[in-house]
Chains A and B, each alone.
Chain A
Amino acid sequence: MSTLPVISAKNLDLVFQTGDGSVHALSDITLDIEKGEFVSLIGPSGCGKTTLLRVIADLEKPTSGEISVNGTTPEKARLDGAYGYVFQQAALFPWRTIAKNVALPLEIMGLPAEERTSRIKRNLDLVNLTGFEKKFPWQLSGGMQQRASIARALAVEPDMLLMDEPFGALDEIVRDHLNAELLKLWATTQKTIVFVTHSIPEAVYLSTKIVVMSPRPGRIHEIIDCDLGADRPLDIRETPEFLKIAHQVRDGLREGHSYDE
C-alpha cells in the first residue's frame, strides 16, 4: 500500500470573521486519512464538522495550518475532480431530469455523449434508481433524491467521497437502508469516504475510524478506531463489539461537551 495519506491536515485553524465578532470554527486540527478508509466526523452541531469537510473540498480556506489532498493542494485536487461532494440536501436542479442531473458534472468535464450515457446508467443502477431517469427531482421522495445526488457524485468517478450528513433529513428506516447500500458501495469501489454525522449508530456502523469533535473552538477530541470487519449486516448493531465502540464514542462526546450552555 502507498505510504502517503490521501488527506493530511496539520494544525489547521479557521476563524470566520462575522459582523458581530469572530467564530473560531476549527482549532488545531491534525488528521491523516489513508486511502480506502471510511472516516466519520461526529460531534454536536456547531463543532466544525461541515467546515472541516469544506476545507478538504476547497470550499473554505483555512486561516492557518497545512492541508494536502491527494498529495497536492485542495484547490488542485478539486479542479482534478478528486472528490465527489454530497451535501446535506440533494441539491438537484429541478429543471433537469434525474438522468440529466447525473449528467451535469459530466457535461462540465466535457465527456463525450456515449461516455456520459454509460456513466449515468451505471451509477443510477448502483443507487437503485434505474427506471427513474426521466423523472424530475420533485417527483421523487427525499430518499430517492439523496440517492440521485450520490449517483451524481459517483459519476465523476472520484477516488474520494465527501458526505455532509447526507441522510440527516431522512427517516430512520430509509436511513438504515441507505447506510447498508453505502457500505456495500464502499466495499465494492474501495473509495475513501469522509462522512459527517451526528448519529452514533450511523458512525459506528459505517466507519473504520471515528473522529469525535467538540465545539468552541471546533477541535478534535478523540479518534476512535472502529473496524467491525468487511461484512456488516444491519443487526451487527446489537453485538457487544458494536455497543462497546458506541459507548466509547458516547463517552468521548460527553467529555468534549462543554456544560456551560
Chain B
Amino acid sequence: MSAVRPNWQALAALVTGLISLAGLPFTATMGTGASLLVTAIVLVAAILSMLKLRPVAQAIILAVASHFAAWLLIGGLADAFGTAGFGYFAALAASWLLAWRLVTVLSEMKFIAPVAKRTIALIVPAIFGIWILILWEALTRGAGVPFVLLPPPSSIGARIVTSTNILAADFVQTVVKAVLVGYIIGTFSGFLVAVMADRFRFLAAGLLPVGNMVAALPMIGIAPIMVIWFGFDWQSKAAVVVVMTFFPMLVNTLAGLAATGHMERDLMRTYGAGHWQVLAKLRLPVAMPFIFNALKINSTLALIGAIVAEFFGTPVVGMGFRISTEVGRMNLDMVWAEIALAAVVGSLFYGLLALAERIVTFWHPSYR
C-alpha cells in the first residue's frame, strides 16, 4: 500500500478510460488499434501517476500522456466530422482528467528559485488555455456542432492565417486610431479635471452629477450622435471612447486624492507645503493605485466602446464593422477571428498596465 498514493483525478481517469473500451472504435476514421492506443496511454499514465514518484517525474508522465492522447484524439477526427461516439468522449474526459492532475501536481511543487516559480506561474495558465482549445476542437468537430453555432478553433486559426491583411487593417482602424486616441484623451482629461475639481471644490460639486448622468447614458444613444458630430471615420469612435473613459478616471482620481491620511497631511502642513507641493509629493503617489484601477477599467471599456460604436456606421474597415457584416454573411470563423484579436489586444493592454502598476506602486502593501 505504501508504494501507491491514489488521487481522485487519476482514479476518475482510470474509470473513464475503462468505459471508453466499451465504445470502440472512437470515430468513423479512427481504427480500433488507434483507439486502443489512446486508452492504453491514458490507463498507464493514470496508474503511474498514483505511484510514489518524484513530482517532476509525475509531471512529465502526465504532460506527455495527456497531450499525446489529446493529439491522437483530435487527429482521429480527420474526415470524421460528427461521428465521435461515447467511447471517444470518455477517452477525451480521461485525458482531460490527467491534465487536471498535471496542473495540481505543478501547483503543489515547491520551488525556491524565483525563475522556477515564475515559469510555473506561466505554465499552469498556459495548460489551462491549451485544454480549453483542445476540448473546444474535439467537442465541436467530434459531436458535429454546426459551424454557425460555434466553429472549431482550427478553422478560426486557419481564417486568421489567411486574413492577416484584413485583421491588420481592422486593428489599425479600431485599436491604433479609435481606442488609443480616445483612451489617451479620455483618461488624461478625466485626470486633469479631477485635479482641478479637487483644487476648486465647486467644480466637483457641479461636475460629478453631470458626469454621473453622462456615464449612465447608453452607448447606443451616444454612438449615433457622435457619428453625426464627428463623421463616419474613427474620430467618432474615439469620441465614444472619450465619453466612456473620462468618468471612471475622474471618479477614481478624486477618490484617490481623498485617500491620504490625516497624519501625512498634517506633516506636510508643518513644513508649510503649498497645495501643489502636497499634491505632487504626497497625494498623487497615494492616489496611484486608484489611478491605475481606472486605467485598467478604461482599457477594457475603450476596446468595447470602439468596437460596438462601429456597429453604428463606419467606413468599410474596423473590427466592429467586420464583426457586424460577417455575422450577416454567416462567416462565423471571421467573426471569431476578430473576437480572438480583440481578446489578445485586450489582454496585452491590460497586462501592460498591470505591469506598469507593479513598477509604479511597488511600495503598496499588496505588492511589496
Contact = CB atoms under 8 A, between A and B. Distances in A.
A93 B264 contact: yes
21 contacts: A59-B270, A78-B269, A81-B271, A81-B272, A83-B270, A85-B267, A87-B263, A87-B266, A91-B261, A91-B263, A93-B282, A94-B363, A94-B364, A95-B285, A104-B281, A105-B271, A107-B281, A108-B271, A108-B281, A136-B368, A156-B271
A95 B363 contact: yes
A107 B282 CA distance: 13
B269 A59 contact: yes
B51 interface: no
Contact of B263 (A78, A89, A108, A136): A89
Contacts of B273: 108
Contact of B368 (A59, A78, A138): A138
Contacts of B269: 58-59, 78
Interface residues of B, number: 21
A83 B363 CA distance: 29
Residue among A79, A87, A136, A138 with most chain B CB within 10 A: A87
Interface in A68-117: 78-79, 81, 83-85, 87, 89, 91, 93-95, 104-105, 107-109
B292 to A, nearest CB: 14
Given A78-B272, A107-B281, A108-B281, A87 B267 contact: yes
A212 interface: no
B287 to A, nearest CB: 12
A78 B268 CA distance: 11
Nearest to B263: A91
A84 B281 CA distance: 18
Contacts of A107: 281
A95 B363 CA distance: 5
Nearest to A83: B270
A193 interface: no
A57 interface: yes
A109 B268 CA distance: 11
Contacts of B270: 57, 59, 78, 83-85
Q: Which of A81, A84, A104 has the most CB of B within 10 A?
A: A104
Most buried by B among A54, A85, A95, A109: A95
Nearest to B361: A95
Given A58-B269, A85-B267, A87-B267, 6 more contacts: A84-B270, A94-B363, A104-B271, A105-B271, A108-B273, A138-B363
B154 interface: no
B163 interface: no
A109 B364 CA distance: 27
A108 B272 contact: yes
A108 B285 CA distance: 16
Given A107-B281, A136-B363, A138-B368, A91 B267 contact: yes
Contacts of A104: 271, 281
A156 B272 CA distance: 12
